[in-house]
A and B are shown apart, each in its own frame.
Chain A
Amino acid sequence: MHESGAAASAGYMWLAAIVFLITYGVVMSEKINRAIVALVAAGLMIILGVINQEQAIRGIDFNTIGLLIGMMLIVAITRQSGIFQFLAIWSAKKVNAHPWGILVMISLVTAVTSAFLDNVTTVLLVVPVTLLITEELKVKPYPYLFSMIFSSNIGGTATLIGDPPNIMIGSATGLTFNDFAYNLTPVILVVMAVTLIPIYFIWGRHLRAAPEDRQRVMQFNEFEAIKDWRLLKQCLSVIGIVVFGFVFARFLHLEAATIAIFGAAILLLLANFGHDPEHQSKHVLESFNEVEWITIFFFVGLFIVVHAVDSTGLLKLLADKMLALTGGDLKATAMVILWSSAVLSAIIDNIPFVATMIPLIKAMAPSFGGPEGVMPLWWALSLGACLGGNGTLIGASANLVVAGFAERAGQPIRFMRYTLVAFPIMLMSIFICMYYLEWWYLQ
């Protein structure tokens, strides 16, 4: 009886592993929409008996889902105000429309905005202004777009809400907004500054613009970019309250999803207040349509798939193997996680990778003295998975959005040309993180 139970359990482990690997393969091939793949795989895990529906629902991290939806709604409403364009133009004028100064300022705006809002939305709104500015200055937009890709991924790494891997790690471990800000923001500031050095030497020092072209940019009226001042004030107030909520989440005894969804609900209320019900329905529906449902359902399916794999004991087995490989040494384990997540995230989607790594690292906790002991491993995972996305053009969604704009502007970003410069710069950022982790946590 015991033997047949063990055999059945091993059978489920194999079954779960096969479904999991096929899911990974199909997601990577990009032949089928990733939400469809994840939901089909989740359904298979239940139908094949690896887990039941109740366990599947328990596997979904609703804190991550809620945080993502809440922030997507806040961004969807905020983008209508024109604040992103305002910031880009304002920053360009602050440096007297100097081409290199603009590159630095636009990169900083992108990084800071990406730290608090979704990376894709940030580049979607800042890239068109950047293209307009480069067109007016008669300079090639390539260095600007290249730098924006890096800035969006670097900025997103700095906070709990900046990038999906951080949201997932924070939710799974209980690490707060402040934990992320305290542990990641300092190294991210260094990475951002150092990243601009090769960009300067490769392109920045050659950027020139005629005085009359710079004058044209200086004549831009950034205040005209604001489409709705009332909405802008409402959005900034709500974003301020939401960030306050994240900072004081522990004292307020609130989860991140509650803060984000409540913030979104308040913003919807303010933006629709005083309008007739028909207008409200139309406006609310428009905002809901802006939520990236493909990403949300991809997460739902993925959480179930990973939970199913985890429930068979496979991830615990892999964790043990990894510990055996690193000799149970925390430093070696952190380095393996940092470098493997960076290189893999440059090639594959970092979301399924992080979803898989979370239970794996949790399983290692007892070997390192509990949850406190594996803290460096979470930072290694976050830094590797988020910054690794800079390595290739397919490393992160924001990269592809920028590449799409470049193509339409007649200045395509080619995969190999990008990778040849981006991959070494990404590796340089991981080196910085490696020394930071060693110096701060692993001595």
Chain B
Amino acid sequence: MTAQNLMNPNPVTLRLTDTVAAAGEHIIKEHLRHIPVVDDQGRYVGTFSIYSLLQLALPKAVTMKEGLSNAGFVNEQNAELAQRLRERGNEPVSQWLSKDPVIHPNSSAMDAVLLLLKGHVSVPVVDKANQRLVGMISSWNVIEKLITENN
């Protein structure tokens, strides 16, 4: 079995110029944690995640590298967190991408499962030659496929 057999070939994707607010709508509507982001040629450039949204709701001083490890002294209410997230809603997703490890369509299924086991919620499947995103593999895809195989 290869990665191609396990992947969802029609994942939801974002463009580099899409806004954080638009990404948030997709995440809530589709119950997604990670959305791959592609450029104009459909090449994979990174992943926008629900964690980026959480990060945007907090002050930079808390989320930055070597930032505050304890922010319990900040008495912020939900409304203030929401306002901060709203204020940054027009920023493009391109500023908040993480670069996840990718696999290729003909990589072994074992490699894909190992990546998922290492804590990656979903793994982008990218064409080796042109770097285009051809699908996404999530733990759900794998389990669904394996259970169907047994039946």
Which residues of A line the B interface, CB within 8 A? 82, 85, 89, 124, 128-129, 131-132, 135-136, 216, 219-225, 227, 404-405, 408-410
Contacts and interface: CB of A to CB of B under 8 A. Distances in A.
Contacts of A227: 70
B73 A221 contact: yes
A349 B4 CA distance: 56
A6 to B, nearest CB: 55
Given A135-B60, A136-B59, A409-B60, A220 B74 contact: yes
Contacts, number: 59
Given A129-B61, A135-B59, A405 B73 contact: no
Contact of B61 (A124, A220, A409): A409
Contact of A220 (B60, B66, B75): B75
A404 B76 CA distance: 27
Given A85-B68, A85-B70, A124-B66, A135 B75 contact: no
A405 B64 contact: yes
B73 A220 contact: yes
B66 A405 contact: yes
B62 A132 contact: yes
B60 A225 contact: no
Given A135-B59, A219-B75, 7 more contacts: A82-B70, A132-B74, A135-B60, A220-B73, A222-B73, A408-B60, A408-B65
A216 B74 CA distance: 8
A134 to B, nearest CB: 8
A219 B59 CA distance: 16
Contacts of A221: 72-73, 75
Most buried by A among B60, B75, B76, B80: B60
A124 B68 CA distance: 10
B73 A131 contact: no
Nearest to B84: A135
Interface of B: prevailing SS: loop
A85 B73 contact: yes
26 contacts: A128-B64, A128-B66, A128-B67, A128-B68, A129-B61, A129-B68, A131-B59, A131-B60, A132-B59, A135-B59, A135-B61, A219-B75, A220-B73, A221-B73, A221-B75, A223-B73, A224-B70, A224-B72, A224-B73, A225-B70, A405-B64, A405-B66, A408-B64, A408-B65, A408-B67, A409-B60
Given A219-B75, A220-B75, A221-B75, A132 B70 contact: no
Nearest to B72: A224
B116 to A, nearest CB: 30
Contacts of B68: 85, 128-129, 132
Contacts of B60: 131, 135, 408-410
A425 to B, nearest CB: 26
Nearest to B62: A132
A225 B64 contact: no
B61 to A, nearest CB: 4
Contacts of A224: 70, 72-73
Interface string B55-89: 00001111011111011111110001000000000
B61 A132 contact: yes
Nearest to A141: B61
Contacts of A124: 66
Contacts of B73: 85, 89, 220-225
A306 B99 CA distance: 47
Nearest to A401: B66
Given A85-B70, A405-B66, A128 B75 contact: no
Contacts of A408: 60, 64-67
A203 B65 CA distance: 27
Contacts of B75: 219-221
A40 to B, nearest CB: 30
A416 to B, nearest CB: 25
Nearest to B73: A224
Contacts of B65: 408
A219 B73 CA distance: 9
Nearest to A79: B69
